[in-house]
Amino acid sequence: MVPEEIRAVGQFVADIARQLRSGLNSASSDVAALLADGWRGDASNEFFGGWTELRDGGVKILQALDVMTERLGVQANSYQATDDSTSQQFPSLNLHL
């Protein structure tokens, strides 16, 4: 495992989360504006129920992506620390090329 590659994957996941968060926030604003304009009735209630379910699912996905990003960063740092420690004991095994 190469720590830089793990960090790159973590950054990629973080970028995806950032884009999804932006899209979810934008959609939330649009839905709030739509409902604030006075849309009422059964169709409005059905739409709002579906929207709430979708939004909640999006929040769960974002939470999972945040955990992945954090763990990838921690994992990369752990590999780096292990490599550094090992390379001090066995200089010929240092992965820093």
- 3-state SS of the chain is CCHHHHHHHHHHHHHHHHHHHHHHHHHHHHHHHHHHCCCCCHHHHHHHHHHHHHHHHHHHHHHHHHHHHHHHHHHHHHHHHHHHHHHHHCHHHCCCC
In a domain, 86, yes or no: no
- pLDDT tens for 21-52 read 999 999 999 999 999 999 999 999 999 999 99
Residue 92 lies in a domain: no
Q: Is the pTM of this model over 0.75?
A: no
Residue at 53 is within a domain: yes
Residue 91 placed within a domain: no
67 compared with 4, residue with greater pLDDT: 67
89 found inside a domain? no
Domain total of the chain:
1
For residue 23, being part of any structural domain is answered with: yes
